């Protein structure tokens, strides 16, 4: 067990854990019902062909705050002992007033934790945004090697500038219970939302939805706090109508073969859900569309976690067609 934890820690520290068992997808379904804006699980052995777990029913349900959750993110703790799911506290189904959602919405995120991916804590609602925030959208977290804590980040607009634009705010935590003071992490000319960060070969890569260009941007840095530089050759920079970038290591590098990375983009403007793009050179920013991904329903803004063989088996056994919501 100690050797497994050490191996997981080493893999997590480089931000590119290879999956010997498969992948877990956390997502939400739609705005159709109160239950469709909850946490759904998908499972895949190859990261391309996905099955819905729990009979295509939500696995985790929030009755806190706005009684709905969207944009979930899942991560394995740096020591490999826990898993955390963070989600936006928002129900569009129950209130379709987007001005209220942005100007008078939740200042908190919803958090679950687990030691095995099948037994989850009760959700907790934690304020991370500043007191004058109008919303707290699409939270994610990444371990900071320099400071040895987690950088948690999300999108908010605030009353201090009359809700002029969305910025990416951030704070720090060591345990996902106590959080530091929020600060502005990313600011662009116009709105910026939906940031996702991965790491490879000592460099961080950051994808965001930037309304300055109304497209997904890609940046690179040696440190989480920057400075960040635009990846000028990013091949998807001119596509519009996409949001919720989710990048993950699809296949690790092997002798004579580079790693394969997948960038999923939620084609929200067409209501088409996630569309896959792959790259064999993450730093080069060259991604190409592929057509061999299969989803059981339209996966929306979410995240992917590589899992071990035993974790895969446990998830399948617990949340198969006869599995019940936890």
User: Which pLDDT value is given to residue 96?
Assistant: 84
Q: Would you state the pLDDT for residue 18?
A: 53
Q: Which helix (H) or strand (E) holds 258?
A: none
User: Which H or E element spans position 102?
Assistant: helix 98-103
Please enumerate in sequence order all residues whose Cβ is within 8 A of that of 22, keeping only pairs 6 or more positions apart, or say none: 43, 44, 45, 46, 47, 306, 307, 312
The rounded distance, in Å, linking the Cα atoms of 234 and 216 is: 9
Q: pLDDT value at position 227? A: 97
Tell me: domain 2-318, CATH 1.10.10.60, correct? no
Output the pLDDT for position 321: 57
pLDDT at 9: 41
- Written as tens digits, the pLDDT of the chain (326 aa) is 444 444 444 344 334 555 679 999 999 999 889 999 999 999 999 999 999 999 999 999 999 999 999 999 999 999 999 999 999 999 999 888 889 999 999 999 999 999 999 999 999 999 999 999 999 999 999 999 999 999 999 999 999 999 999 999 999 999 999 999 999 999 999 999 999 999 999 999 999 999 998 999 999 999 999 999 999 999 999 999 999 999 999 999 998 899 999 999 999 999 999 999 999 999 999 999 999 999 999 999 999 999 999 999 999 999 985 433 34
**Domain residue limits, the chain:** 2-318
CA 213 to chain centre: 22
């Amino acid at each position: 067990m100690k050797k497994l934890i050490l191996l997981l820690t080493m893999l997590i520290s480089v931000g590119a854990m290879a999956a010997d068992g498969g992948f877990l997808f956390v997502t939400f379904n739609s705005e159709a019902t109160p239950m469709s804006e909850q946490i759904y699980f998908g499972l895949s052995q190859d990261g391309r062909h996905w099955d819905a777990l729990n009979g295509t029913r939500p696995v985790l349900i929030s009755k806190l705050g706005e009684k709905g959750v969207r944009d979930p993110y899942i991560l394995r703790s740096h020591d490999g002992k826990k898993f955390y799911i963070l989600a936006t506290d928002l129900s569009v189904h129950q209130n379709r007033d987007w001005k209220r959602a942005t100007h008078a919405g939740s200042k908190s995120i919803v958090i679950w934790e687990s030691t095995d991916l099948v037994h989850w804590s009760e959700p907790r609602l934690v304020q991370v945004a500043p007191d004058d925030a109008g919303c707290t959208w699409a939270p994610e977290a990444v371990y900071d090697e320099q400071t040895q804590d987690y950088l948690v980040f999300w999108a908010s607009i605030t009353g201090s500038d009359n809700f002029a634009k969305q910025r990416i705010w951030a704070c720090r935590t060591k345990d996902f219970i106590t959080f530091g003071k929020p600060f502005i992490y990313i600011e662009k000319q116009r709105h910026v939302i939906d940031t996702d960060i991965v790491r490879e070969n000592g460099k961080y890569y950051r994808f965001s939805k930037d309304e300055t260009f109304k497209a997904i941007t890609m940046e690179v840095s040696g440190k989480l706090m920057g400075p960040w530089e635009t990846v000028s050759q990013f091949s998807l920079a001119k596509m519009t109508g996409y949001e919720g970038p989710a990048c993950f290591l699809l296949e690790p590098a092997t002798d004579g073969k580079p790693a394969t990375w997948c960038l999923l983009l939620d084609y929200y403007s067409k209501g088409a859900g996630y569309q896959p793009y792959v790259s064999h050179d993450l730093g080069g920013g060259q991604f190409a569309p592929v057509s061999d991904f299969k989803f059981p329903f339209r996966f929306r803004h979410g995240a992917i976690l590589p899992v071990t063989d035993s974790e895969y088996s446990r998830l399948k056994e617990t949340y198969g067609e006869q599995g019940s919501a936890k």
